[in-house]
Amino acid sequence: MTFRVVQWATGGVGTAAVRAALLHPEIDLVGCWVHSDDKHGRDIGELAGTDPIGVHATSSVDELLALDADCVIYTPLVADKKVVAALLASGKNVVTPLGWFRPSERDAALETTAVDAGVTLHGTGIDPGGITDLFPLALSAMTSAVTFVRAEEFSDLRGYAAPDVLRWIMRFGGSVQEAKDGPMLGLLTGGFTQSLRLILDGMGFDPEAEIRTGHEIAVATAPIDSPLGVIEPGCVAGQRFQWDAVIDGSSVARVAVNWLMGEENLDPPWTLGLAGERYEVEIEGTPSSLVTFTGFNSDAIEKAGDPNPGIVATANHLVNSVPYVCRAEPGIKSYLDLPLMAGRAHPKLARR
């Protein structure tokens, strides 16, 4: 069976999703929403850097709401709940990396909309929506009496070719106070807190665990070259965000990200450690385990400007989830509600 899919937005994740969808045997791209006038009317393939596919992007929400489609891959920079609700009400399943990893009471209206329309909303991604919840849940099956879970990212952001996001959303290159007052902690907390709650739910920890949030900042001690330009001494060049689920005064689950502009000329003198760029998932129990994932981080210097592997992985996870979400029962569904998802073989190696 082939599912008719709309791509919503063509930023980094969106364009990578288009490329992945074109290789997926169960997906037929039938539409695309774009924000800017200069993309309106252009071929989706052209926007994604591939050959034309004969389907053109539109900036009209109403046009896509009326389109016959099974699913929307929803990847704007920030989610608009009204748009998501409208997409669900129009009879389209939605997959997105922008939240809904673990639904809560405040999602009740959206849940009702999805159920009434007979469709499903699923939050997926890589970090959060993958490394910080799906992977720990899967790996915990090898351990009994779990006492602590950790999922953590270690990245050199010199390979993240998004200068506006780095400067004005993440607040790198600005003052320490700018970073403290910036939107990043709030934007991240919603998703990573859901990841923690999903771990607590899936492993049977006390659901009343307190969530504690931490934000640490490192500044440059000498000029540092970066995608947003030179970061001057005294300006933000490293950030660490951490979220802990605490029971009886002890952390039982932690998710964290370490984002550095290199490993030199930082105060405090943070490094990525001997293992370099990576993601780690640690489970403490009987027995304990530590798994390191590589390949999702960018090669900061050698391949600056190339498609970021983490962004591509996020897009692939979205695309690969589409058939499973379209076949799911209506409502907002987390990883705990869906079967094991898998990627698909390269077309030249696929079953004939």
76-120 pLDDT, tens digit each: 988 999 999 999 999 999 999 999 999 999 999 999 999 999 999
Q: How far apart are CA 260 and CA 254, in angstroms?
A: 20
For residues 139-159, average pLDDT: 96
In the structure encoding, which two tokens stand for residue 182, read together? 């910036």
Complete domains list, the chain, with CATH: 3-125+312-349 (3.40.50.720), 134-295 (no CATH)
pLDDT of residue 49: 92
Share of the chain above pLDDT 90, in %: 91
State the average pLDDT for the chain. Answer: 95
Query: Does residue 302 surpass a pLDDT of 90?
Result: no
Q: Is the pLDDT of residue 68 over 60?
A: yes
Give yes or no for residue 12 having a pLDDT over 70.
Answer: yes
Scan for tokens 């600056």, then name that residue.
Answer: 304
Question: Given CA atoms 282, 343, 23, 322 in this order, what sign does their dihedral have?
Answer: negative
Nearest to 316 by CA among 332, 296, 300, 337: 296
For residue 316, give Cα distances in angstroms to 13, 16, 115, 156. 9, 8, 26, 22
Task: Return the bridge partners of 237, or none.
Answer: none
CA dist 176 and 205 (Å) reads 36
- The more confident residue out of 275 and 351 is 275
Tens digit of pLDDT for each residue in 22-63? 999 999 999 999 999 999 999 999 999 999 999 999 999 999
Cis amide leading into 287 (omega within 30): yes
Mean pLDDT lowest among 74-83, 101-110, 156-165, 278-287: 156-165
For position 300, what pLDDT does the model report? 54
Q: Does 306 score more than 70 pLDDT? A: no
pLDDT (0 to 100) of residue 352: 76
Strand partners, 93: 71
How sure is the predictor about 212, in pLDDT bands with cuts at 50, 70 and 90?
very high
Tell me the pairing of strands 278-286 and 144-156. antiparallel
Q: Which pLDDT belongs to residue 224?
A: 97
Which tens digit of pLDDT belongs to each residue from 318-331?
999 999 999 999 99
Place of tokens 């569904």: 333
Phi, psi angles (nearest 5°) of residue 75? -135, 45
Task: Please tell me the predicted confidence (pLDDT) of residue 160.
Answer: 84
pLDDT exceeds cutoff 80 at 305: no
| The pLDDT value given to residue 304 | 47
Which residues, 6+ apart, have CB-to-CB distance to 314 below 8 Å?
A: 13, 16, 97, 125, 126, 127, 129, 130
What is the pLDDT, as a whole number, of residue 47? 94
The CA distance from 198 to 201, in Å, is 5
Q: Is the Cβ–Cβ distance between 257 and 126 less than 8 Å? A: no
Pairing of strands 3-8, 71-74: parallel
What pLDDT is stored for residue 299 in this prediction? Answer: 66
pTM here is 0.93
In contact, 339 and 324? CB cutoff 8 Å? yes
